[in-house]
Copies of this chain bind each other. A is one copy, B any other.
């Protein structure tokens, strides 16, 4: 063992090790589902806007190459979020549709909330794309409450 372990001389609010560890675990868990959330949301958006979701459109919207899209779609199909046949459009399963709806709504609330705080629209959109995945139901409710004045 190194040595002292004396009490901290600090004044800053120091989170306990267990709470911080739990928080970081939760953040990593959120990142693990983040890709699924963004993909199903984009697929639902495209289906609504253009009738169907194709790989190129997804690649354009997600800012990645079509190779990355293909690779990820295979994983999401294995996970049961969507179905796809070679050279055909992509369709959400009921499971994927449920997730998409939740994500669309949460996305809108986060963007609206940031804009209500005075954040410019494009910056609000940018920040929301990351923030949304770390907003718990309680926090989302607080955002909605604030929006309703």
Please name all residues of chain B whose beta carbon is closer than 8 Å to the beta carbon of A145 when the two chains form the complex: 117-118
Contact A129-B38, Cβ < 8 Å, known A8-B49, A10-B49, A120-B138: no
Find residues 68-108 in chain A having any chain B CB closer than 8 Å to their own CB: 89, 104, 108
Please name all residues of chain B whose beta carbon is closer than 8 Å to the beta carbon of A57 when the two chains form the complex: 17
Number of copies: 2
Kindly report which residue of chain B lies nearest to residue A126, judged by CB atoms: B23
Of B24, B27, B52, the contact of A2 (CB 8 Å cutoff): B52
Please name all residues of chain B whose beta carbon is closer than 8 Å to the beta carbon of A50 when the two chains form the complex: 4-6, 8
Of B17, B27, B138, the contact of A123 (CB 8 Å cutoff): B138
Are A21 and B89 interface neighbours, CB within 8 A?
no
Are A123 and B139 interface neighbours, CB within 8 A?
yes
Kindly report which residue of chain B lies nearest to residue A146, judged by CB atoms: B117
Please name all residues of chain B whose beta carbon is closer than 8 Å to the beta carbon of A122 when the two chains form the complex: 19
Query: What 1/0 flags go to A105-149 for Cβ under 8 Å of B?
Result: 000100000100111101111111111011110110011011000
Instruction: List 9 A-B residue pairs with CB atoms under 8 Å apart, sorted by A's residue number.
Output: A8-B50, A19-B122, A19-B125, A27-B129, A117-B139, A119-B139, A123-B136, A123-B138, A134-B134
